[in-house]
Amino acid sequence: MTKNPDIIIIGGGLVGMTAALACAHKGASAVLMDRQDPGNYLKAAFDGRASAIAASSYRMYEKLGISERLEGDVQPITDILISDGEAGRYTSPLTLHFDSDDAGGGPMGYMVENRKLRAALFEVIKHNDNIEFIAPANLLGFNEEAAQITVRIEGRKDFSASALIAADGRNSFCRKQAGIGASLISYKQKAIVTTVAHEKPHNGVAHELFLPGGPFAILPITDSRSSIVWTDTPGAVDAAMALPEHMFADELARRFGDMYGQVGPCAPRWAYPLSLQMAEDYVKGRVALIGDAAHAIHPIAGQGLNMGLRDAAALADVVHGARANGLDVGMNLDDLQIWRNFDNRVLASSTDIFNRLFSNNIAPIKHARRLGLGLMDKIKPAQSFFIREAAGLHGDLPSLLR
């Protein structure tokens, strides 16, 4: 890249990489930087999570040439089962069943392992002339000037652009440097993530079982495997993480019940502390926040990444709009804040309420939520509303998601 790019994106995680491709798709140029060596973060051991990609987010991946690189690695989600359970008992009699056929057919989303999505994004970026990916790059700071913003990187030349996009995750250095505050609530929960192989097929069904310590999610991935997100109190998670392999396998089998036949872990375990963190603003001067840098939520509804992907798609429209009108991109980022802030706050609050409602064993709350699940299972219009919401098909969608 010989002249200054339109944008510099700090953070080459799933959101930063997607934002670079989305903006490039609309004709903008981007320098993308990550502090990790790609040789490191493309390794299987880097991230054991799998993500539920909502149907609308997946549309963007079709347009950006990512889905074709994921062939054989993507598992459509056709049904969602939600049950209120008790430890050692797999389902309660009141189970809520969402079936994609009730909302006009088509999968509600797609499960893909993060490492595979990251590798696909990386490959497509490598061949995109509008993007220069620099990694490892250790960001020292940035200075905002009258007509541009300049980024200082350890041991490299400075880079200047019209705007700086912070996609550097929940501990965003850029957010702090820009002087944008954030609220933080710790859930006093952690999540264990691992992958389980099972004897019987999952048939594309995602299960969420609510236990007093937190939700236990069984999410279908390819090859008769499921990705597990086991949320519990920090003490219970630390104890489970310390279990020898055979005892951990026994505990998983107990939680699965006999629905999937014989089950056993087939990958290492990871543990993540959980919190809700919301930036006070998404835009300040020439700096805009996207992804977890702007909002990090509980994984209960599998929406955190999807929120970031919608930010990336909205950013592409905002940057495109400014360029098409001959405007300074960095001074015209406010529409991103207007477009995304409200949506993200609504989703973050619903996820927060949902987790608090379901992660406890207080008798009246337990009875009310069981009644709620039972009622909801009978009301088809309410179900299709939730299915369309989970698929990300509601609201004012950016062009790449339509």
Q: Is 11 in the site for ligand FAD (CB under 6 A)?
A: yes
- Tracing tokens 């056929």 back to the chain, one arrives at 101
Q: Are 56 and 393 within 8 A, CB to CB?
A: yes
Out of 13, 107, 215, 220, the residue judged to bind ligand FAD by CB under 6 A: 13
Q: CA–CA separation, 94 vs 321, rounded Å? A: 49
Report the DSSP beta bridge partners of residue 184: 277
Residues 284-343 that bind ligand FAD (CB under 6 A): 291-292, 299, 302-306, 308
> Taking CB under 6 A as the rule, does residue 36 contact ligand FAD?
yes
Interface with ligand FAD, residue 51, by CB under 6 A: yes
For residue 15, the minimal CB distance to ligand FAD (Å) is 3
Would you count residue 52 as binding ligand FAD (CB under 6 A)? yes
Residue 107 engages ligand FAD in binding (rule: CB under 6 A): no
Cβ distance to ligand FAD smaller for residue 221 or 322: 221
Q: Could you tell me the smallest distance in angstroms from the CB atom of residue 118 to ligand FAD?
A: 9
Task: Please provide the DSSP assignment of 311-349 as one string.
Answer: HHHHHHHHHHHHHHTT--GGG--HHHHHHHHHHHHHHHH
Candidates 1-9, 30-38, 254-262, 313-321 — which segment interacts with ligand FAD by CB under 6 A? Answer: 30-38
Q: Binding segment for ligand FAD among 11-19, 275-283, 335-343, 351-359 (CB under 6 A)?
A: 11-19
Q: Would you state the structure tokens that stand for residue 75, as one six-digit string?
A: 């598992």
**Shortest CB 370 distance to ligand FAD, Å:** 25
Do the Cβ atoms of 234 and 273 come closer than 8 Å? yes
Strands 7-10 and 30-33: parallel
* Binding of residue 213 to ligand FAD (CB under 6 A): no
Q: Smallest distance, Å, CB 273 to ligand FAD?
A: 9
Cα distances from 123 to residues 38, 40, 119, 137, 239, in angstroms, run 11, 15, 6, 19, 39
Candidate residues 22, 191, 283, 393; the one interacting with ligand FAD per rule CB under 6 A: 191
Shortest distance, position 65 Cβ to ligand FAD, whole Å = 19
Sign of torsion over alpha carbons 128, 32, 347, 395: negative
Longest alpha-carbon distance in the chain: 65
* 198 and 226 Cβ atoms separated by less than 8 Å: yes
Binding range to ligand FAD, per CB under 6 A, among 161-169, 247-255, 332-340, 370-378: 161-169
CA distances 171 to 8, 165, 166, 391, 393, Å, are 18, 15, 11, 28, 30
Q: Any contact of residue 48 with ligand FAD (CB under 6 A)? A: no
Spatial distance between the Cα atoms of 390 and 85, rounded to a whole number of angstroms: 22
Residue type, 223: D
> Which is nearer to ligand FAD, 327 or 353 (by Cβ)?
353
Structure tokens, 1: 């890249």
For the bound state, the minimum distance from the C-beta of residue 209 to ligand FAD, rounded and expressed in Å, comes to 16
Nearer to ligand FAD, 36 or 91 (CB): 36
Instruction: Report the site for ligand FAD in 119-158 (rule: CB under 6 A).
Output: 137, 139
Listed residue (130, 178, 183) closest to 2, CA to CA: 130
Query: 341 or 366: whose CB is closer to ligand FAD?
Result: 341
Binding-site ranges for ligand FAD (CB under 6 A)? 10-16, 33-36, 49, 51-52, 137, 139, 167-169, 173, 191, 193, 229, 272, 291-292, 299, 302-306, 308
